[in-house]
Amino acid sequence: MILSRLAARPPLLAAGLFLALALPWMIYPPVALDIACWALFAAALDLLLGFTGLLSFGHAAFWGTATYVSGLIALRAGLPFPVAVAGGALAAALLSVPIGYLSVRLRGIYFAMVTLAFAQMVYFVVNQWRDVTGGENGLQGVPRELFGLDLSDSFVFYYAGLPLILAGFLAVWRVVRSPFGRVLMSIRDNPARAQALGYPVQRYKLLAFVLSAGLSGLAGGLFALGHGFASLESVYWTTSGQVVMMVVLGGIGTLWGGVIGAGLVVALNDYLVTSGFDGIGIVTGTIFVLVVLVFRRGIWGTARDLVHARTGRRPDPGQGDASDGTPARPEGVGSPV
């Protein structure tokens, strides 16, 4: 069933798979791995932002926690890397249960603020718990191996990790296309009606939050093992902002837009770092500001609208409604001038 649906769009799917396989040949392999991890992270966030209508500004907590937990499992227990990554994803999902439980009670901008605050709490805990996390030094020299096979070469590790990334994408895609995903979208578009139809809205939101956090953790765990370290930066609020930017740049509620956003942002960051520019925030912030001001549909959203305008086909309702430049989300606070 999944396969038959996947087969419905063979050219795009083939192109995507080809790109995923060819990436380490085209660019520096560690950067390719970065793109793959951030792309999954962005897709996981879009599951929440684009399809459930919840802007989490604290996803660094889940990505970051997974980097540390995966790193510790590989470092201290010496377990093979898929186990370490799974442990990181599980830890992120577990952490998201209390945070999500408290946050989904609030809506819109309040939700964003509270998730941001909880993520900052996680950051402080990681920073202070030096015995375990290494404080400002982070974890270093995390081994990557699978049944004695040394995977410390980034090129090799990319292919070892790719199945996990693709599995993550399949999960996001499957959730969005499932009846569960449809309920999430109805909550995004009209929570009151979803509630009236008998759906326990809060529970659905929480479940979406936990799923999103777990998948972010999967991406984060791979990121940590791929680089052999976990650092404080991964739990910091700039990381939360960065992944939001990727999704907004690519197009909220488009799923694959976040992948493009991740590719562009990671490649740009890499270019800036290697060229010795030390004000990445200036560039990142400017992109953020420009996208929000004049390019709210994002890359994928704009492209899709162009294609639909040409072919005269109506946008696929399952892909979220970004046609008026805003994610479909009627609720809001205040009514500013």
> What is the contact surface with other proteins in residues (CB under 8 A)?
55, 57, 98, 102-114, 116-118, 120-121, 124-125, 127-128, 191, 201-202, 205, 237-238, 241, 244-245, 248, 278-282, 284-289, 292-293, 296, 325-327, 329, 331-337
CA dihedral 286, 288, 293, 298 (to 10 degrees): 130
Kind plus residue range of the DSSP H or E element containing 145: strand 145-146
Beta carbon of residue 320, minimum distance to other proteins (angstroms, whole number): 14
Q: Toward other proteins, which CB reaches closer, 155 or 237?
A: 237
Of 6 and 328, CB closest to other proteins: 328
Q: What is the 3-state secondary structure (H, E, C) of 4-32?
A: HHHCCCHHHHHHHHHHHHHHHHHCCHHHH
Q: How far is the CB of 310 from other proteins (least distance, A)?
A: 27
Task: Please state the closest distance from residue 116 (CB atom) to other proteins, in A.
Answer: 6
Q: How many CB atoms lie within 10 A of CB 136?
A: 9
Cβ proximity to other proteins: between 92 and 201 the closer is 201
- Closest CB to other proteins among 163 and 200? 200
Which residue, 274 or 326, has its beta carbon nearer to other proteins?
326
Length of the chain in terms of residues written: 337
Smallest distance from other proteins to CB 169, Å: 25
Give me 202's structure tokens. Answer: 């809060």
Residue 47's nearest CA partner among 166, 168, 197 is 168
122 neighbors 64 (Cβ within 8 angstroms): yes
Considering the complex, what minimum distance in angstroms separates the CB of residue 7 from other proteins? Answer: 36
CA nearest neighbour of 60 among 264, 165, 212, 226: 212
Task: Choose among 206, 222, 188: nearest CA to 330.
Answer: 188
Q: How far is the CB of 107 from other proteins (least distance, A)?
A: 4
Considering the complex, state which of residue 146 and residue 280 has its C-beta at the smaller distance from other proteins: 280
